[in-house]
Amino acid sequence: MKLYTYITVALCAVIVALPLTRPSHIFAAESTTQNTEQTAVETVKEAISNLVSAKDEKKQTETPVRIDTLKKAIQLAINEAKDLRVKLIGLEDLSDNYETWKTGKAEKMKEMLEMLDSFKKDVSKLEADTETTDNQIKGLGEKIKDWREATYLPLSNEIQDYFLVIEEYKTVETAENRSSKIEADIIKLDKRRKNTTDLKKLLENANSEIKKSKKINDEAKDLFENTYFPKKNDALSATTTPITEGEIDTVVVPPKSVRDLVKDSSNKVRNSYKIFIEMSNLVRKLLK
């Protein structure tokens, strides 16, 4: 009897602990404000946009404030770029294709940092010049904004896409491990001749969601490679059948991005955890 109580309590504890121990990034795709890197990007974007679109003011206090805003925006961008580059350099045990990609993107990010440092010096020059006008500050802000949108963001988004896919694989693996532990405990309950039929059905549903999650994230990985790896991208284009005018539908659904697919995968994992919680409630009833 004591052994049975221990087993059921252990199973309940494992399931109840799941929401507390699952990777926090599961819900990151639903709200970019929960992602530190994305928050930094949005902060820089807002700061520079506000600076560029600001109305002319006659107050002498406006110039120092705008310079300070620009300095902070550039520093945030520098911090983000450094963080991404460090994460890239730290990647290990990669395939040849990914090793080549990593090296190239790390070098590109180094160039981004050099450009950001150049912008930082430009701001310092404006700050030191007592004759600096608001138009000069806005002009520099516009230059930084254009460079950021055309050059920096595409690179930053590509690197972040990679890490989103990799982190999602870790999330799926964690869910798989939890499922295996729960399955082992259900087997122990079976040996005690307890009715685990409902638990098994729920676990089967959870495993189905996890399986779908992994499949969707595989699609995200394939899309990443088809988008950013030249060889795969060329092969895909070469085998694509041209669409004739009569085959074009009136409603065109935009293809999902890597981030869209990662979000879909994360939602599937979240569904599995909801089922685990439902199993926890069922185990509680067995304990009564």
Nearest C-alpha neighbor of 287 from the set 201, 202, 279: 279
Residue pLDDT, tens place only, 78-93: 999 999 999 999 999 9
Residue pLDDT, tens place only, 139-197: 999 999 999 999 999 999 999 999 999 999 999 999 999 999 999 988 888 887 778 89
Kindly report the pTM of this predicted structure: 0.75
Helix axes 2-21, 153-191, angle to 10 degrees: 170
What pLDDT is attached to residue 284? Answer: 80
Residue pLDDT, tens place only, 24-56: 333 333 333 335 555 555 666 666 666 555 554
Q: How large is the average pLDDT for residues 103-107?
A: 97
CB atoms within 10 A of CB 131: 6
Q: Are 99 and 13 in contact (CB under 8 A)?
A: no
Residue pLDDT, tens place only, 244-275: 445 445 667 789 999 999 999 999 999 999 99
Domain ranges for the chain, please list them.
2-16+23-236+254-287
**In angstroms, rounded to a whole number, what is the distance separating the alpha carbons of residues 75 and 249?**
47
* Better-scored residue on pLDDT, 127 or 192: 127
Residue pLDDT, tens place only, 69-81: 999 999 999 999 9
**In angstroms, rounded to a whole number, what is the distance separating the alpha carbons of residues 185 and 112?**
52
